[in-house]
Chain A
Amino acid sequence: MDRLLLPHDYYKSVFINCPFDDQYEPLFYAVVFAICDLDFNPRSAKDVSDGGQPRINKILDLIESCRFSIHDISRTELDPMHGLPRFNVPLELGLDLGCRRYGTSDHKEKLLLILDTHRDRYRTFISDIAGQDIAAHNGSVERAISTVRDWLRPHLNPSAGKTPSGRTIYRRYEMFQVDLPAYCDKLRWDVDNLSFADFSWAVYDWINNNPI
């Protein structure tokens, strides 16, 4: 891929690769909010609406168009129905590592954060990723926000103002969650069934009206 084809926001985009189940949603939305609050651009396979495109192609496009990636491997566990592991997230993590190694010179600057429930759990099933940035959130929204904030902090321009702490972002996220149902009511939306695009715009409008 020629570097001219990279999106203009490549250096500010964060690809979130995580499980898309109901249980994980609180963590996913919290991470999206934290990324927006730090003036980065969250991207997810959920925001690509081209139904005709094979899913893996969408993910490859996202990997190529984001400098930062967050891979949450916490749901890599045996499916109780089939007794087989769920392996989508580690597969996409592998594609991202490949992109960094074999991609264009811009891709050599890619940075990956691997999240899991416990810090050393990965050693039992995917030990080859040792040496990457790996952190545990223990399933806690506040911890996930702080982890993402701490990881992105060195890349925040100190001249652009003070960097909010993880706790500050978490408190702002709680305030946003209080406002979100009323906002959805006004637009006659189902707060439990928001599309990624609509949620991202809601976060954008809220942060614009509530600057740090």
Chain B
Amino acid sequence: MKSSTAKKTKKSETPRLITGDELDALTLHVVLRDVGWVVREDNGKVRSIHRTQTEAICKGRAMGKKRAGQLAIHGRNGHVRKWEVYWSGPIRVERKPMRPRSRPVNATRKAMREAMKAVLRERASSLGVQQ
């Protein structure tokens, strides 16, 4: 959801390409914790603590605008209920799946990558033959 304070973007503008990590660094969250409503970074680092959600949202908005980032407002149940963005111009995020935590057991990463590429190449060529 786009904030009413965000600048209007032109359709012709080229989107700025950023990575998922860069996007995370621009993101702030307003969440309920045992100490009250807090504004925290995407990595969990707490920036400020407030008595009410309204105060936390005001602070989060100010911080988000300062860094031209975005704010995720969580409800009491922990789920995000609103996203606000404060940067100007369109952006495109380079999406990548998260790398699994554990190491592969039965093959090297190189062999696995090559096997997957070969399978997808074969699938693409067989589809080409069918068409």
Chain A contacts to B: CB under 8 angstroms: 3, 6, 8-12, 36-37, 39-41, 43, 47-49, 105-106, 108-111, 154-155, 157-161, 178-179, 182-183, 186-187, 189, 195-198, 200-212
Contacts and interface: CB of A to CB of B under 8 A. Distances in A.
A109 B120 contact: no
Contact of B98 (A39, A48, A206, A211): A39
A34 to B, nearest CB: 12
Contacts of A206: 116, 120
24 contacts: A3-B44, A10-B44, A37-B97, A39-B20, A41-B100, A48-B102, A109-B31, A109-B74, A154-B79, A157-B83, A158-B83, A159-B83, A159-B91, A178-B123, A179-B123, A182-B122, A183-B116, A187-B115, A189-B107, A196-B102, A201-B109, A202-B116, A207-B97, A208-B96
Interface in B55-84: 70, 72, 74, 78-81, 83
The main secondary structure of chain A at its interface with chain B is: helix
Contact of A186 (B1, B32, B95, B118): B118
Contacts of B93: 157, 159-161
Nearest to B81: A154
Give the 8 A-B CB pairs with smallest separation, nearest first. Answer: A200-B100, A186-B115, A205-B116, A197-B102, A154-B80, A41-B98, A160-B93, A207-B97
Nearest to B85: A159
B42 A11 contact: yes
Nearest to A194: B106
A179 B111 contact: no
A159 B23 contact: yes
B116 A108 contact: no
Q: Which of B33, B93, B101, B111 is the most central at the interface, judged by chain A CB atoms within 10 Å of its CB?
A: B101
Interface residues of B toward A: which range? 35 or more
Contacts of A179: 116, 119-120, 123
A133 to B, nearest CB: 8
B99 interface: yes
Interface in B15-32: 20, 23, 27, 31-32
B33 A109 contact: yes
Given A8-B43, A37-B97, A105-B34, A187 B119 contact: no
A212 to B, nearest CB: 7
B110 to A, nearest CB: 11
